[in-house]
Amino acid sequence: MVNSRESSSDDDNLLSSFGAGDTIFREGEDGRVMFIIESGEIEIIRGRGDREVRLALLGPGDFFGEMGVLDNDLPRSTTARSVGPSRVLPIDAPTFERLLQEHPELAVRLLRRLSAQLRDILLEDLRAKRAVAGVLAGVQRRAEVTRPIVVPGMVTEKGTAPAETRPVPPRLVHPETGRGFPLSGCPQTLIGRPDPKTGIAPEIDLEPLDVHKSLSRLHAIIEQRGEFFYIREAPKALNGVWVAGHRLGTGKEYEMRNGDRLRIGMVELVFETRPAGED
């Protein structure tokens, strides 16, 4: 731990006090204790190159630094900083084990926290893979630009070029507004709404259309396999994915076809792979 810290003078009070801007621990340090917030707010930060990204803002009753007691051989993966005056209770591994025995509900909260962290890591990994795929797709598109361009009706060495109708990129369309949401062009496209704590947003953000607040942060996933597209509910998507009035349900997927009407939460959409009205 760094920066000044004052312990309570009461023998039975082991709380530690921090002022605004005080760092409780830094990313990369050894960690052998966790903390429970008694008062104030603590921001959890991770370095991204030459900048910092706030991952979470925690308040009274929340805990942080739990990996310090679960695996103290690993360095801290984040920085914890006090936003304003705060008081926290440091807990070492023996104390933590005793608390779990006396308060089993803490184990449930810890598992939920670790599950959310694992989900965020998986999402970041998926986005990194998509970024690489996007770069490769861009290289392919630039290579295609070097090919001769044939305009419908142009007279060429082989005769008159036939008229050609190019398919539109696969997308979801909101019928009421006409707003279109192209798929990411990668193997998977995530649909939902942004997470204000982590700053992570899905490729298709439907929050502006979700007047009923029915969307989960990660609500649905569209997967492309060759020329086919499949949609499925994300785990814990409370208001589901509906096709032709029937809910898919967790673990099931649906092969989408041009013109299919979908409902994601309470948002009505149409899947398009070619211009409307074209057979």
Backbone angles phi, psi at 269, to 5 degrees: -140, 160
pLDDT at 125: 60
Token pair for residue 99? 């608390």
Distance CA 200, CA 222 (A): 18
Q: Is 81 exposed, middle or buried (0-12, 13-18, 19+ CB in 10 A)?
A: buried
Question: What is the value of pTM for the model shown?
Answer: 0.45
Please answer whether residues 218 and 237 qualify as being in contact, where contact means their C-beta atoms are separated by less than 8 angstroms.
Answer: yes
pLDDT for 73 equals 67
174-178, long-range: CB within 8 Å, 24+ apart, which pairs? 174/209, 174/267, 174/268, 174/269, 175/268, 175/269, 175/270, 176/268, 177/209
**Per-residue pLDDT of the chain in tens (279 residues, 90 and over written 9):** 444 444 344 434 688 999 999 999 998 888 888 898 999 999 999 887 778 888 888 889 888 888 878 776 678 888 999 999 999 999 888 888 887 787 777 777 776 766 666 666 556 666 656 655 555 555 454 544 444 444 444 444 555 544 444 456 899 999 999 999 999 888 889 999 987 766 678 899 999 999 999 999 899 999 999 889 999 998 888 899 999 889 998 889 999 999 999 999 999 999 998 755 554
Q: Which domains does the chain have, with CATH numbers?
A: 13-103 (2.60.120.10), 167-272 (2.60.200.20)
